[in-house]
Structure 1
């Protein structure tokens, strides 16, 4: 795999005139109505950043909370998908091999990464020094590496959180990779307990690549945010239980939030193709796969070529890159190209043939491809006035919910706080309006709570 990742055409070969320009522009407009426009995305991003700040402040330097995934990217509404959360322990740091540790405060426990005998993008963590206070979750996950040195087990580390005491009302699910999934009422959360990872050489190599995008300022910001290690090894590895995966969640949040509107909509459409058309059952292709395809496309092509009238051109390019990844079972990780994201996917021969045939069909369909995507197809079929009314109310009720959420994290009492009462009052007005409209159009609606959850899906 070359360091430049996905590169179908040489720079300058991207056509200046695109096919299906009118259909591209109209699809972009429909996606704005559905809640994928820049203003609603930015409002979601800021709301989850605020909630992270509130939760982190309450921990007084012990833990840092970072929302990741589609919520941090502003691409899903309140109940539409799981809330992905990274919780980082502040009293531990992992250092890349060769980095001087003398300036690390004495209260911090230091682990040294050993990646020479691990698959690219993964490492083992050897204890270099205890801090003045060692967390039980760290101490209990230590094992012997066979040479008398302390080795931090990713398996033992994550299992402690799976087996920990839960607050009443929280339902714990089976481990999923590095995450500990839980359900609280109607909210589903995937939580990853991670550690800081200082790896200047990896980030320097990433920053030094020739690229059209992102800008130098964004590159510097991504480098400044550093990295993490999450408790999961390479599937099938003999040392899977003691391996950790390098990740760059904060930097990837910044990268996605610096894509332009067309690049974001390309990302959304490819995620819809993955979910609604390919329908993987064992995570053979994931949203993370699609994200990396979009990041490579953005890096390797002039930024000026991404505009609303070129959306279908780039969707075609994205499908081509996805087809190649499935066919070759190779896709370089955007931050560490030596890591193949398709290496451990459970993709059998028949499924690969079927998916390639489906993608080939889609690539010949032109704009009709969007009729395969239920959310957009329904919006096209719907009458414009009811669609705009419902979408407007849906976005408003979501914004009210996000404001209410952050008031709650600030410690406000919903029974006494005037702002929270006003938020709930306006939500109820919207729900009654939508319920009445549904009844007038022939729907049988009894429970207003069902209307609320449906509007936030």
Structure 2
């Protein structure tokens, strides 16, 4: 349930962030992550569906809308079930387009102009290739590892296939009547995928009732969820060894739908789990014998088509027969998530390599909960980075960005959408406050005091980063005693159980469950406590007067146009900002502030703590901006008059990032200083 809540919040946040940046997409996290039907051992991908609301899909000519991209759904007697062609219609008159004016268009033999699904994917691939290495998997075109990203068109008009299924299910114990009524109002999606045996497979679009399938999954009780997850583990550990990766999670989901529909609800009890698995495998055996696994919702679709050849179906049937006749004994030898042990009522999960620490169920549950919160917090930072870049690249300001977000809240009747919008509003307000303080007078006038007061609303964003910004503002404006009080508060909060979060860079091992389980203290009370996360501290150029002088170099880290050209698209959105991990910045700010107060012993202590933290290999997993942290150490050495050591530290920084690194400026600057001294 926590997994569901997290991913539903993430999809709403993506939709809101898109609206703020001027796109008209609605985002959905379908699949195991948003269903809460995965385990650590299954290592499931993240599925993202992007629904393009700029497009109007017509089921007949009465659906035409002026000013929209209009496409008419076409099918005939030879079109495979679930497949459609999309005829291009003019946006300013309800008439078919007659000429090819777009790379995505093709002409059918009949002369009709169609929107090609294959050319559409090629067009998307060209656009996203600058964001990272592109992988294509069926309808997915993704530039993010372990993500399937599918661009779709929503179908909001009644679809005969869906209504036929609703009528078929009436009067049964499952699906329930309320679900069927909700399904009647639910949109479907056209996915860029053709039938493998069709003459028009490069042009066809597949009708996909994802939201209805989600409703069906959300209606499962806990035993049914466990049965489905068990089926996926069996698929991965046993069935795929027989037929490679030809059996998918969607096959397992379909088996569950048919089994639940035909089984009395009283049988779905925890102690019947193995019996329910046996029923599911018997359903699979039945469909393998018939050579057809029908789609649960859309009639006439064989889910074996294009997935399992006849030879593979016979091979799989033979093995499933063997499993059933041998009382599922092979299940008790599955290692994934210690599945076999769990079936024997063993409640321990081993994480990682042999000999690694064992996690009991309480620590495991806490670790998974922390991981979900961490990933949501991380995605907030990523979306905020893109929003800030979009605001800076346009003629708007942060105040206008906040107004747009509030407009989203005001226009929405969805309370959950409102909650997610405020997650972004708090972050934008924190940035707006900091920018205001940067442009205000250095004198302690009422306007500056009011800006400092506003920082209290920013403290909700995370544990320490907003407090560190406040301390930096106070230091830069000469309020050193106040800065020290804030830093002392930060030091108390930034303890060993705080997890560093960066929306830009990943560290190897960032998502290991052991890391998150370790955030749980030995006190039993901690099981119910909220995990603590610390974002990196970021200063954009409008905040320059809020940041120590050394960070101005980070805002201008490239030395040549060639260096700027080497930046990927994802780097371009943040590299003109100064970004540093919270803990190194805390120690560096302590060094500066204690120095300003003349407290020499505390100043030197802060410098030593900074060095020992960065050079301790155990902290590597927390160092998302190691080159920047090394530059801070180098600057401390400079201020101590040890120029040779400073040069050495800057050179180490360049070993980690040799371009787009402010260390290049520091080395040139220091070499001039040393030359003048000689």
The equivalent position to 1:147 in structure 2, one of 106, 110, 113, is: 110
Is 1:160 aligned with 2:123?
yes
Task: Verify the 8 A CA contact 2:54 2:68 in the aligned structure 1.
Answer: yes
Q: 1:346 to 1:366 in 2, by over 3 A?
A: closer
The offset of 1:161, in angstroms, is 1.2
The offset of 1:149, in angstroms, is 2.3
Task: Verify the 8 A CA contact 1:331 1:342 in the aligned structure 2.
Answer: yes
Query: Which whole-Å deviations, capped at 9, do the CAs of 1:221-258 have from their partners, x for residues lacking one?
Result: 12212211111101132211111111011221111011
The offset of 1:382, in angstroms, is 6.6
**Aligned equivalents of 1:234, 1:143: Cα separation in 2:** 18
> Bigger CA drift: 75-84 or 240-249?
75-84
Task: Verify the 8 A CA contact 1:435 1:448 in the aligned structure 2.
Answer: no
The offset of 1:425, in angstroms, is 4.4
Task: Verify the 8 A CA contact 2:291 2:313 in the aligned structure 1.
Answer: no
Which protein has the bigger strand share?
Answer: 1
Query: Which whole-Å deviations, capped at 9, do the CAs of 1:420-448 have from their partners, x for residues lacking one?
Result: 867994447972875999xxxxxxxx877
Q: Corresponding residue for 1:387?
A: 360
**Aligned equivalents of 2:332, 2:195: Cα separation in 1:** 38
> Bigger CA drift: 42-51 or 354-363?
354-363
Query: Which whole-Å deviations, capped at 9, do the CAs of 1:135-170 have from their partners, x for residues lacking one?
Result: xxx9431122233322111110111112224455x3
Query: Which whole-Å deviations, capped at 9, do the CAs of 1:184-235 have from their partners, x for residues lacking one?
Result: 5xxx211111111234322211111133212111111122122111111011
Is 1:70 aligned with 2:70?
no
Q: Corresponding residue for 2:218?
A: 257
Report how many residues are paired.
389
Q: Corresponding residue for 2:605?
A: none
The offset of 1:365, in angstroms, is 3.9
Query: Which whole-Å deviations, capped at 9, do the CAs of 1:90-149 have from their partners, x for residues lacking one?
Result: 1112233x4731xx54222222212223101111111233269x9xxx943112223332
**Aligned equivalents of 1:382, 1:44: Cα separation in 2:** 21
**Aligned equivalents of 1:74, 1:131: Cα separation in 2:** 44
Normalising by structure 1, we get a TM-score of 0.75
Q: Corresponding residue for 2:289?
A: 327
**Aligned equivalents of 1:207, 1:389: Cα separation in 2:** 42
What's the Cα RMSD here?
Answer: 3.4
Task: Verify the 8 A CA contact 2:175 2:216 in the aligned structure 1.
Answer: yes
Query: Which whole-Å deviations, capped at 9, do the CAs of 1:291-328 have from their partners, x for residues lacking one?
Result: 11111222233323322122222211100111233333
The equivalent position to 1:266 in structure 2, one of 215, 227, 245, is: 227
The offset of 1:45, in angstroms, is 1.0
**Aligned equivalents of 2:516, 2:53: Cα separation in 1:** 46
Is 1:359 aligned with 2:403?
no
**Aligned equivalents of 1:387, 1:312: Cα separation in 2:** 23
Name stretches of at least 5 consecutive residues in structure 1 with no aligned partner. Answer: 1-41, 438-445, 452-457
Q: Corresponding residue for 1:246?
A: 207
Task: Verify the 8 A CA contact 1:194 1:229 in the aligned structure 2.
Answer: yes
Q: Corresponding residue for 2:192?
A: 231
Structure with greater contact order relative to length (CA < 8 Å, sep ≥ 6):
1
- Indicate the SS of the match to 1:228: strand
**Aligned equivalents of 1:269, 1:155: Cα separation in 2:** 35
- Indicate the SS of the match to 1:127: strand
**Aligned equivalents of 1:432, 1:73: Cα separation in 2:** 22
Task: Verify the 8 A CA contact 1:66 1:250 in the aligned structure 2.
Answer: no
Q: 1:201 to 1:352 in 2, by over 3 A?
A: closer
Q: 1:370 to 1:56 in 2, by over 3 A?
A: same
- Indicate the SS of the match to 2:273: helix
Q: Corresponding residue for 2:167?
A: 208
Q: Corresponding residue for 1:81?
A: 44
Which protein has the bigger helix share?
Answer: 2
Is 1:58 aligned with 2:31?
no
**Aligned equivalents of 1:405, 1:77: Cα separation in 2:** 20
Q: 1:383 to 1:148 in 2, by over 3 A?
A: closer
- Indicate the SS of the match to 2:259: helix
The offset of 1:406, in angstroms, is 5.1
**Aligned equivalents of 1:432, 1:154: Cα separation in 2:** 42
The equivalent position to 1:344 in structure 2, one of 276, 293, 306, is: 306
> Bigger CA drift: 75-84 or 340-349?
75-84
Query: Which whole-Å deviations, capped at 9, do the CAs of 1:36-94 have from their partners, x for residues lacking one?
Result: xxxxxx11111111111111122226111111111121122689221111111111122
Query: Which whole-Å deviations, capped at 9, do the CAs of 1:325-363 have from their partners, x for residues lacking one?
Result: 3333201101112111112224352x4444223222322
Normalising by structure 2, we get a TM-score of 0.52
Q: Corresponding residue for 1:306?
A: 268
- Indicate the SS of the match to 2:322: helix
Q: Corresponding residue for 1:418?
A: 462
**Aligned equivalents of 1:226, 1:370: Cα separation in 2:** 39
The equivalent position to 1:398 in structure 2, one of 328, 351, 371, is: 371
Query: Which whole-Å deviations, capped at 9, do the CAs of 1:391-437 have from their partners, x for residues lacking one?
Result: 23422332332441354345549998324867994447972875999
Q: Corresponding residue for 1:10?
A: none
